[in-house]
Amino acid sequence: MPPVQIDTAMTLAAGFGKRMLPLTIDRPKPMVSLAGEPMIDHVLERLAKAGVERAIVNLHYQADVLERHLAKRQQMPAILFSNERDEILDTGGGIKRALPLIGEQPFILHNSDSVWIEHETDNLAALKAHYDADNMDALLLLAPVSTSLGYDGRGDFFIEEQGRLRRRAQNETSPNVFIGVSILHPRLFDDSPDGAFSINLLWDRAMREGRVYGIAFEGQWMHVGTPDALIEAQKVIQDASQ
């Protein structure tokens, strides 16, 4: 099966970035600088490399700062804004509000604080190559907990038969952490709630139907969620460039 042609992405950028204080007092977290450029620029450059032509960015906290920055971009992908200035809608509600801009085809969802260094594998290309629109409502990219920078949790999912995902139980530890990058089909949002809600609600429903899958990330993933993690990530990127 040839890789699915996905030319649209959504980047989640509306959150308050409280764990990144004091760096987010006067700017949204996606505008915090990493290795000389805002984190969201790292994400958009990777999406462009993956063939994404349009990126929808949602706005809430310090919305004007982010909007002004992205409005200056000349290169691909073209930026469309989903306005959440009136009410922050969490992950699920934010994506649902943006669906008229996204359209009816599968799209890449990418957190604005998820950055990585590739090794042998082009991870977004691998994600697209693995996606099966007929059978998958969601395909998630999962990194090993043991090698992830800036993450100290107990993992998120188990990859089971044929790549289907199972969420870890409260008393379990999973070797896999979701890195905030996935391919979603808009039908995932059929009969979803109005207002603010987490995407986890829809994933759990789709997992019960066997329609959420995952593949393994290859490389060095960095969750840049705090000032300390930012310092670590900058050192890793600097070392890798030498």
- Tell whether 112 is covered by a domain: yes
Both tokens of 9, joined, read 């992405």
- Tell whether 2 is covered by a domain: no
Element (H, E) at 223: strand 219-223
- Tell whether 1 is covered by a domain: no
Q: If you average pLDDT over every residue of the chain, what do you get? A: 93
- Tell whether 30 is covered by a domain: yes
pLDDT(150) > 90: no
Q: How confident is the model at residue 101 (pLDDT cuts 50, 70, 90)?
A: very high
- Tell whether 41 is covered by a domain: yes
* Full residue range of the structural domain in which residue 43 is found: 8-241
Q: What is the pLDDT of residues 7-17, one digit of tens each?
A: 999 999 999 99
| Measured distance CA(213)–CA(163) in Å, rounded | 5
Q: How many domains, the chain?
A: 1
Q: According to the model, what pLDDT value does residue 3 have?
A: 56
- Tell whether 13 is covered by a domain: yes
pLDDT(120) > 90: no
- Tell whether 3 is covered by a domain: no
| Measured distance CA(19)–CA(22) in Å, rounded | 9
Domain with 78 in it: what CATH number? 3.90.550.10
Q: Whole-model pTM?
A: 0.94
Give counts: helices (H), strands (E), the chain.
6, 13
